[in-house]
């Protein structure tokens, strides 16, 4: 098939056209003065959104070459969102700023590969500077400060902080819709395992790439399931009582996995396939733990049970299951509380008797998983549109607050990036002028978020940036109150982990785009086929 090709200056201009389109839509959400973006949806009402990653996912351009620019910079937003759940908008505006000046330099004859090397050198140095500014999060008040800022709402932020303070930095927190108008928190029995879904075709939310199933039956087996015939009998028995099933096995592959995928695609089942956690004897023990939590029987050849002998009574139950590609959370199993408590006590006693530190650690981990429970934050709103927007903010704020608890906080509002760039000017020297240009690209870009935040709030970006540059340490601009001051004292902070991820991903994507010399696509791409309808 014939192809169309763009190269050098033309290619860069077309890529930048797409980048600018994306960042215009995403950048308006940055800061306290940021606006919303309304996303049309195929089904249901439009979605009001202020999350950079969600907005970026919706943008597809008709022209193929500018669309390549969109897709490449989407990576910065997507990767930052995957890493830390926040900072997506800052990633995109940083990448755009680097690319504008970088393309100008490349067009004037500067070596793009040298520019990229300079970018990488500067990105690494900026991250070290950010780490040097870090302040540990101590006490519930500082956790609340971070959560409120991330949530853009005091009641929401306080609830998130209290929940994370109760369950711990790595505790399990899920978000559900509430029937009321307010926020509510519930602590229930539950467990999280470090195994995700076995097939992306089983996801129920394409935007977040997660699978959620309400009130499922749970099949737990220590066997490997390969043949469809192993699953069909229990699926037929289940069909009279429910369409929701979660299968946890040593492995699920071949015809068996295909059977679940086909039934999910056709709407016959809401199903999820998960590989059992851990290995060897520890895997068997963890399956027994899960069976106790969900009031299930483990189907294992070790006790003479085969899959064709499974009855409905062998299946466990829980209120809800949420799974992504890496982890699965089970909320409120129906297992007897006293039996669960006894199981935890047995595991703790066993941990005291082993001599190996590794074995002791793993036993303590099992006990923690069974007894830790799950915090459920219920989000209420007057309309479906408001509910979706609030829920998105809660999920993002949870991720950002966890990040702050993990690696500490820095002055927010773009101030820490300005200070990092100031500290490095004159410190990073390179004999290669083109590499030095790349270093300066990154240092200059570090000033850009302050300008965007100010302009979104209706102020002059240049004037505000000058005010921040002329200050010291944590001195910055509060765009919500229209005043300069100590950002940390005013409660305006950013998680170190988020800022480092922003730098990493913006530099990576910008470097990749800068070193692009040719673009190739189909001359007349065929229309997408209609969905299969049987």
pLDDT for residue 469 is more than 50: yes
Give yes or no: residues 23 and 92 share one domain: yes
Q: Which of 239-253, 416-430, 469-483 has the lowest mean pLDDT?
A: 416-430
CATH number at residue 159: 3.30.260.10
Q: What's the mean pLDDT in 403-407?
A: 92
The count of C-alpha atoms lying within 13 angstroms of the C-alpha of 263, restricted to the half-sphere facing its C-beta, is: 21
Predicted pLDDT at 346: 94
> For residues 396 and 68, what is the distance between their CA atoms, to the nearest angstrom?
27
Q: Quick check: is 472 in a domain?
A: no
Q: Is the pLDDT confidence value at 333 over 70?
A: yes
Long-range contacts of 162-166 (CB under 8 A, 24+ apart): 163/375, 163/377, 164/398, 164/401, 164/402, 164/405, 165/140, 166/375
Q: What is the pLDDT of residues 228-275, one digit of tens each?
A: 999 999 999 999 999 999 999 999 999 999 999 999 999 999 999 999
3-state DSSP assignment of residue 313: helix
Q: Is the pLDDT of residue 525 over 70?
A: no
Query: Would 359 be classed as within a structural domain?
Result: no
pLDDT score at 534: 46
Q: Which of 277, 311, 335 is the last residue of a domain?
A: 335
For 4-55, the pLDDT digits (tens) are 888 888 888 899 999 999 999 999 999 999 999 999 987 778 888 888 888 9
- The answer as to whether 352 is a domain residue is no
Does pLDDT of 530 surpass 60?
no
Pair 311, 195 in one domain? yes
Claim to verify: residue 200 and residue 245 sit in the same structural domain: yes
Are 234 and 208 within 8 A, CB to CB? no
9 with 124, same domain: the answer is: yes
CATH number at residue 204: 3.50.7.10
Average per-residue pLDDT for the chain: 91
pLDDT tens digits, one per residue of 383-398:
888 898 899 889 989 9
Question: If you average pLDDT over residues 105-133, what whole number do you get?
Answer: 95
Output the pLDDT for position 532: 46
406 pLDDT above the threshold of 50: yes
Q: Would you state the pLDDT for residue 526?
A: 58
> Whole-prediction pTM value?
0.77
Domain assignment present for 301: yes
pLDDT at residue 533 is higher than 70: no
Q: Look at residue 74 in the predicted model and tell me its pLDDT.
A: 86
Determine contact, residues 138/381, Cβ cutoff 8 Å. no
Residues 329 and 199 reside in one and the same domain: yes
Structural domain contains residue 368: no
**Structural domain includes residue 265:** yes
The answer to whether residues 131 and 142 belong to one domain is no
**Judgement on whether residues 166 and 215 belong to the same structural domain of the protein:** no
Region 83-106 average pLDDT: 91
Give the chain's domain count: 3
CATH number of the domain within which 504 lies = 1.10.560.10
Q: What average pLDDT score do residues 418-425 get?
A: 94
Domain of 35, in residue numbers: 3-135+417-451+497-521
Q: Do 290 and 400 sit in the same domain of this protein? A: no
17 and 116, same domain (yes or no): yes
Percent of the residues in the chain that have a pLDDT greater than 90, as a whole number: 68
Asked whether the predicted pLDDT for residue 347 surpasses 70, the reply is yes
Percent of the chain with pLDDT over 70: 98
Instruction: Pick the most confident of 168-172, 245-249, 277-281.
Output: 245-249
Q: So what's the pLDDT on residue 527? A: 60
Average pLDDT over residues 200-225: 94
Q: Is residue 75 part of a domain?
A: yes
Same structural domain, 239 and 296 = yes
pLDDT surpassing 90 at residue 311: yes
Where residue 409 falls among pLDDT bands split at 50, 70, 90?
very high
Between the alpha carbon of residue 335 and those of residues 194, 292, 322, 352, 428, the distances in Å are: 21, 6, 19, 26, 60
Query: Is residue 346 assigned to a domain?
Result: no
**Mean pLDDT, residues 270-294:** 94
112 in the same domain as 148: no
Q: Does one domain contain both 145 and 198?
A: no
Phi/psi zone of residue 419: left (φ > 0), alpha (ψ -120 to 50 degrees), beta?
alpha
Nearest to 265 by CA among 344, 340, 202: 202
Residue 215 pLDDT: 96
Determine the average pLDDT of the residues in 174-178: 90
Q: How high is the pLDDT of residue 229?
A: 94
């Amino acid at each position: 098939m014939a192809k169309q090709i763009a190269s050098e200056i033309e290619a860069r201009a077309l890529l930048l056209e797409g980048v600018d389109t994306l960042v215009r839509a995403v950048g308006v959400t940055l800061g306290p003065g940021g606006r919303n973006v309304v996303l049309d949806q195929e089904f249901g009402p439009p979605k009001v959104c202020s999350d950079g990653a969600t907005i970026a996912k919706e943008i597809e351009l008709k022209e193929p070459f500018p669309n390549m620019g969109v897709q490449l910079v989407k990576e910065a937003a997507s990767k930052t969102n995957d890493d830390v759940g926040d900072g997506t908008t800052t990633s995109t505006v940083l990448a755009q700023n680097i690319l504008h000046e970088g393309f100008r330099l490349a067009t004037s004859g500067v070596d793009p590969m040298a520019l990229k090397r300079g970018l990488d050198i500067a990105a690494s140095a900026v991250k070290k500077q950010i780490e040097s500014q870090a302040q540990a999060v101590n006490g519930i008040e500082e956790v609340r400060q971070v959560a409120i800022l991330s949530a853009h709402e005091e009641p929401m932020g306080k609830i998130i902080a209290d929940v994370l303070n109760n369950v711990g930095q790595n505790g399990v927190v899920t978000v559900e819709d509430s029937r009321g108008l307010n926020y509510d928190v519930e602590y229930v029995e539950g467990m999280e395992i470090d195994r995700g879904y076995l097939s992306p075709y089983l996801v129920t939310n394409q935007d977040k790439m997660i699978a959620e199933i309400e009130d499922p039956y749970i099949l737990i087996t220590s066997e490997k399931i390969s043949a469809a015939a192993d699953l069909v009998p229990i699926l037929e028995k289940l069909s009279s009582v429910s369409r929701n099933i979660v299968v946890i096995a040593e492995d699920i592959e071949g015809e068996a996995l295909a059977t679940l995928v086909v039934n999910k695609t056709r709407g016959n089942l809401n199903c999820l396939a998960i590989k059992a956690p851990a290995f060897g004897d520890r895997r068997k023990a963890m399956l027994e733990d899960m069976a106790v939590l969900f009031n299930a029987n483990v189907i294992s050849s070790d006790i003479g049970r085969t899959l064709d002998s499974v009855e409905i009574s062998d299946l466990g139950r829980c209120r809800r299951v949420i799974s992504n590609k890496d982890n699965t959370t089970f909320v409120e199993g129906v297992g007897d509380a006293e039996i669960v408590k006894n199981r935890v006590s047995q595991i703790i006693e066993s941990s005291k008797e082993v001599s190996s530190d590794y074995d002791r650690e793993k036993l303590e981990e099992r006990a923690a998983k069974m007894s830790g429970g799950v915090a459920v934050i219920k989000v209420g709103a007057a309309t479906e549109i408001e509910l979706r927007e609030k829920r998105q903010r809660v999920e993002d704020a949870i991720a950002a607050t966890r990040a702050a608890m993990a690696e500490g906080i820095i002055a927010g509002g773009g101030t820490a990036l300005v200070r990092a760039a100031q500290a490095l000017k004159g410190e990073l020297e390179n004999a290669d002028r083109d590499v030095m240009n790349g270093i300066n690209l990154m240092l200059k870009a570090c000033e850009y978020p302050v300008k965007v935040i100010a302009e979104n709030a209706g102020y002059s970006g240049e004037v505000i940036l000058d005010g921040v540059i002329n200050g010291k340490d944590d001195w910055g601009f509060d765009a919500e109150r229209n005043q300069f001051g100590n950002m940390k004292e005013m409660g305006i902070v950013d998680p170190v982990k988020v800022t480092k991820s922003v730098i990493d991903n913006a530099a990576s994507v910008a470097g990749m785009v800068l070193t692009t010399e040719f673009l190739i696509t189909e001359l007349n791409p065929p229309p997408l086929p209609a969905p299969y309808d049987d």
